[in-house]
Amino acid sequence: MNFLGIGTLSWITFLPILGMIAVLLLPKENRNAIRWTALAITFLQLVAAAFIFFNFNRGLAGINTVEGMQFVEKVSWINIKGVPWFGKIYVEYFLGVDGLSVPMVLLTALISFVAVIASWNIEKAFKGYMVMLLLLDTGMMGVFVSLDFFLFYVFWEVMLLPMYFLIGIWGGPRREYAAIKFFLYTLLGSVLMLLAIIALYFSVTIPDPTTGEKIYTFNMLAMMNPANFEPGSLLAGTSTYWRYLAYIALFIGFAIKVPVFPFHTWLPDAHVEAPTAISVILAGVLLKMGTYGLLRIGYPMFPDAANHYSWALAVLAFINIVYGALCAMAQKDFKKLIAYSSVSHMGVVLLGMSAMNTQGMLGAVFQMFNHGTITAMLFLIVGVIYDRAHTRDLDAFGGLAITMPKYTGIMTVAFFAALGLPGLSGFISEAFSFLGAFQTHRYITIASTLGIVLTAAYMLWTLQRVFLGQPNEKWAGLPDINGRELAALVPLAIITLWLGVYPSTMLDIMTTSVNHLVEFVKQGGAAVAMLPK
Amino acid sequence: MSPETIIQLSVVILLLPLLGFTLLIFFNKRLPRQGDWLETGILFLALALSLVVFAVKMVSYRHETFQATFTWVNFGNVPGFGPMKLELGIMVDNLVAIMLVVVNVVSALVHLFSIGYMHGDVRYGRYFAYLGIFTFSMLGIVITNNFWMMYVFWELVGLSSYLLIGHWFEKKSASDAAKKAFVVNRVGDIGMFTGIMILFATFHTFTFSTIFESMQSGNIPLGSEAWLTAAGILIFCGAIGKSAQFPLHVWLPDAMEGPTPVSALIHAATMVAAGVYLIARAFPMMTADALMFIAYIGAITAFISATIAIAQNDIKKVLAYSTVSQLGYMVMGLGVGAYTAGFFHLVTHAMFKAGLFLGSGSVIHAMHHALHHAGDHHTDPQDIRNMGGLRSKMPITFWTFLIYTLAISGIPFTSGFLSKDEILAGTLAFGSLTGHKIIPIIGFFVAGLTAFYMFRLVIVVFFGEHNDHHRIEAVRESPKTMTIPLMVFAALSFFAFYSPNPFGAASGWFFDAIHRPESVVPLAVAAVGIETFEEALHHSHSLAMILSLTVAGLGILIAFTTYYWKKISADAVADKLKPLHTFFLNKWYFDEFYEWMFVGGTKGLARAYAWFDNRIIDGIVNGVGSWTKAITLGTRQNWEEGSIASIFYLGITGVISLYVGWIAGAAMMPFGASLGTMVGYGMLGLAVAGLTFFLFYVGVGGFDNSIVDGLVNATAYLAGFLGLLTRRVQTGKVQTYLAFVILGVMVFFLWFR
């Protein structure tokens, strides 16, 4: 799996950095060279992701064993001896993928590629923009492939910076407010996550690979093994106060990214101000990091707390679903409406996760992927109309179905996918999430089905206001969607349709890992309980 | 023909219309005549194939059920369960064989009719494409062997219904109606989905036969009979939505905004009957309570909509409410246990109601052209008060319309008589077995009402003289593509197609092919058994026939006296019963109530939540931001701003300062101090409080600027660094801050380690 002596996962992660350097070397007047370089790089990344997808062994589970991880790269990275208090600091460059991360890797590559197409005609500081976009790409990809907590955190923070500038420089009128809000909010999450990381670091020891003495580690897989927790350390034992506290800190850190009510208000602002491609990335990939983090880190490291708080997660999921849908309904700004719909749809992921069983978790992971593609389409669609009319006021349009028929066609696919129409991918992940959650949290799930009606209501109402009715004289000359915009939208639409009819293409990647995770979380709590307090 | 061939043919039948849709949606502009011939041809081919399947099934395999399944999703080795697979598939039993023919007959004829009716439409090709995807979805509902695919196609017919109701989306009323149809249906659908969730949680499969077998062996959903009944009722919720049963019936009359052939196909004959089909499919798992619920919902629906139908003046509205009423009949029939009769009524009703709608389409089409010809653009071509005397102008439409009306009124020698009579006999049997006599009473009353309002329609539209000759001068009979379907449907409304005996269906092939399935629920909660029911049915047959003929005759007689001979003035009656008439005319105010309660309520709630989100949640977020700022810059600035929040903030900082002072004073005070010492420490506490408040007032940054700067350089440098740190929070360079946090936290944990 090596190419030029470097592993596939390193390639897929650092390709954008190569692209970034190439773009930096290009003269800023040569927009074509810049955009084609970026496109080529993201395309190569997509090819690499497809390579991983097709060469992935669907029988291996991963999650907590390095043997089950695939495309593994593991080398010593930081190795400092004799640090006061710490003793030896040992950090590994540890990459690997399993059934949870492969869909996310594929999604990241796909969305980055689409984002470059959507950024084709950025006016302001084009070169800087592409540099930031590619840096962001590396950060995102890194989060999904790293298995060392230190490395994970580094990528997590790397992603923050370009995002801040992309919103703050290339955004709309209130971009500075939105960027700072996004940054501070996410940073708050990072700090909480850091607390948990440090607490974990000083609780988990493994034998040094060379000398065999006990050393602290950032290895995520080691942190999942209850036997590695030093007796008497802060997070040793099971169902302790400190473990719950650490889980909550980790949860809030991830919840801000998802975003879970009440930490969601950065999202509408960031989305409304961000340029189209950045909204696409934000909703398509960044939100998934929260739920991915919970599944990759929160659940297997704290199975006791995850089980203990699963009802709370279900309640939060319910709030996200219904509250998000109602807030979406009241919006007058097209983009803000889609942003709130993300809050609602990510609630479905949370609901599936709270199920603690195969259908629910499978639904959740699949919903992460599907929400990525569907919401990306929705934001692209808003972008198309905003580019032409320079307004996003829902009441300013009407009758676009007549003036822009092709645009309306692709919009119909995206809207119906978002409202969970069978035959399109969103339905399957939603239905599985609900089916799973019902077995665990009966009444909360029944209550959450209300979201299905509300989503249909606000989606169709939006569709009616913007696309149906008599054509508005003011927009009579609006040109229909062009080839470049279609090139960004059509692949996503095809994926949505394909996965709606034959979801096994993606589900087969996940099932083994998800089943293992479910089993692990179920048993993990028990295994931890057997250890002396 | 082997069973495999039957399955393969059924799959071909299912996929043909989808092929038509795919071709037409992309290429309709490039095909000659926008591809109407293609889609219509495909449908007639599907019809021919379904007739073959039907014939072979009836002749060679009358008592067999064929199933074919495939693994759609493999859940792998599910923890706590073992290997789990999601099997989907199709089945062909008698129910399916009959429904395939019904759907394809109606669909093919509606396609043919549409060629004439939709001629020159702006989106002609797309219209046919949508008809294609509708037919595909409807066939999918029919042919599936599991609840999952049922739900999938259930929603897909909802989509095609949405697209077709909104075909003329330029009209606000059309797009409103489309949206309403979809959303109201979704309300029923979440009930159905919840029912499916209950079943899946217990049986881990969606296949009908597997679920029923497991249930028969004593497995009941979630281990309680209450959940079993709930599952039945929730599944039925899907039917409440799709078949427009009370209280979700409100979308169907509005759906008439779609083109009339669409109303015939989707909103009269096939899609709305899907609910009835669903009940028939899920029938074995229905408990006595669930069936009772179903029967009552059906009866209430039949009654409410019949009363509304008598007061309407729009030809399509009358037919729409009549459809709702007849659907109520079928649901009631299944609910009381008259399984075969309920399903039989679905089939016969599909034929004559499709005919009625196409007939009304023919009338509207003619009226539209005549009004256009007369240069009249104000008269509503659908209002029956503008019609009259069309009998001689449109003879084929008139005669066929009359036949359908006879059928729906339940007059002997028609198919409607056979099926309606069976349902009514069933309600009588039900009444005598359970004591719920109100059900048969409603049944017969509605039968009378139906005969009355349908003959009212026929008389007002076709008989008498028109009050304005000029207006309908140009009314002409419709073209062949439209009249041929009318004649076929009229033929299919005769008894001979279903039974050799015009006065009883029991001897016909239909009753031989369709039998009520055995219940699989525990005996304690099951409805009365088939034998007991048949026995009671046998006794009520002649009474039912006499009564139904009497009420139908009475209804027709009153209609003729009122509207033909004009012995009774309809206006005078309406005037005398003004409140009641207004109540019926306004459809019992359901729409107004729902608009106020649910639409208004939801929108209000949405606004309230959006406000809450923007002001309270985000207010707190921004508040935290500005308070952090206040700590660094001091309350001085807030005080100058003079806002409520800043005064509040000042108050809080005051309290905090006092508290800090108190803690400081109390902590430092030695145990058992004298009064003098106490006062001394009290003063010290006050001083600390004052200093704290001063710090709050000038802020950490202010402290840095005004106080520390004046001190020695080294201290100033350190404080300057602090100030830099805190002030830069707002400029985005938070990494420094983060570094400090990390450092602090590390020290903290090392301490606790």
pTM of the entire predicted model: 0.88
Over the stretch A370-408, which tens digit does the pLDDT of each residue have? 999 999 999 999 999 998 888 888 888 888 888 888 999
Rounded CA separation B284/B728 (Å): 71
Number of Cβ pairs closer than 8 Å across A and B? 166
CB distance A377 to B97 below 8 Å? no
Using the Cβ of B226 and the Cβ atoms of chain A, whether some distance falls under 8 Å is answered with: no
Closest partner residue to B179 (CB to CB) among A198, A264, A461 is A461
CB contact under 8 A, B80 and A416: no
**According to the model, what pLDDT value does residue B322 have?**
93
Q: Is B194's CB within 8 Å of A449's CB?
A: yes
β-pairing verdict for A2-3 and B82-92: unpaired
CB of A394 closer than 8 Å to CB of A328: no
| Ranges of each domain in chain A | 310-526
* A142 pLDDT more than 80: yes
Nearest CA in chain A to B186: A453
A185/B621 CB distance under 8 A: yes
Position A125 scores a pLDDT of: 85
pLDDT at position A315: 95
Closest residue, chain A, to B168 (C-alpha): A469
Phi (first) and psi of residue B583, to 5 degrees: -60, -45
pLDDT of residue B88: 92
Beta bridge partners of A2: A7
Quote the pLDDT of residue B200: 93
CA-nearest residue to A234 within chain B is: B753
d(CA B529, CA B350): 29
Q: A515 near A63, Cβ under 8 Å? A: no
Report the candidate in B487, B491, B490, B509 with the shortest Cα–Cα distance to residue B500. Answer: B509
Cβ of B156 within 8 Å of Cβ of A421? The answer is yes
B152 touching A (Cβ < 8 Å): yes
**pLDDT, position B737:** 54
Which amino acid would we find at residue A99? G
Residues of A within 8 A of B613 (CB-CB) are 265, 323, 327
- Binary contact (A468, B170; C-beta < 8 A): yes
Residue B672, chain A, CB below 8 Å: the answer is: no
Q: DSSP letters of B207-223? A: BHHHHHHHHHTT--GGG
Nearest-CA residue of chain B relative to A190? B738
Closest CA to B112 of B345, B361, B347: B361
CB contact under 8 A, B734 and A456: no
Mutation pick from A435, A473, A512, A518 vs chain B, by most beta carbons of B within 10 Å, is A435
CA dist list (Å): B72 to A352, B137, B211, B212? 20, 18, 18, 21
3-state secondary structure B120-149: CCCCHHHHHHHHHHHHHHHHHHHHECEHHH
Q: Which residues of chain B have pLDDT under 50?
A: 708, 712-716, 719, 728-733, 753
All residues of chain A having their beta carbon less than 8 Å from the beta carbon of residue B151 are 422
Token code pair at residue B289: 């309570």
Partner residue opposite B179 with nearest CB, options A195, A402, A460: A460
Query: Inter-chain contact A358–B152, Cβ cutoff 8 Å?
Result: no
The nearest CA of chain A is from the CA of B117 a distance in Å of 22
Closest CB to A399 among B170, B189, B605: B170
> Minimal Cα–Cα distance from B7 to chain A, Å?
21
Q: What is the pLDDT of residues A72-115, one digit of tens each?
A: 888 888 887 777 666 778 888 999 999 999 999 999 999 999 99
- Which residue of chain B is at minimal alpha-carbon distance from A427? B152
DSSP three-state, residue B569: coil
Give yes or no for B617 touching A (CB within 8 A): yes
What's the pLDDT score for residue B224? 87
Q: Which residue does chain A place closest to B609, by CA atoms?
A: A327
Q: What is the spatial distance between Cα A308 and Cα B591, in angstroms, rounded to a whole number? A: 46
In chain B, which residues have their Cβ closer than 8 Å to the Cβ of A456?
A: 182-183, 186
A234 to chain B: which residues are within 8 Å by CB? Answer: 749, 752-753
Q: What are phi and psi of B408, to 5 degrees?
A: -70, -25
pLDDT value, residue B735: 56
Contacts 24+ apart (CB under 8 A), A2-7: A7/A71, A7/A73, A7/A95
Contact status, residue B244 vs residue B327, Cβ threshold 8 Å: yes
In terms of Cβ atoms closer than 10 Å to its own Cβ (0-12, 13-18, 19+), residue A261 is buried
- CB < 8 Å to A327, chain B: 606, 609-610, 613
Q: How far is B215 from chain A (nearest CA, A)?
A: 18
Nearest by CB to B183, which of A168, A456, A515? A456
Q: Does B176 touch chain A (CB under 8 A)?
A: yes
Chain B hits for A511, Cβ within 8 Å: 74-76
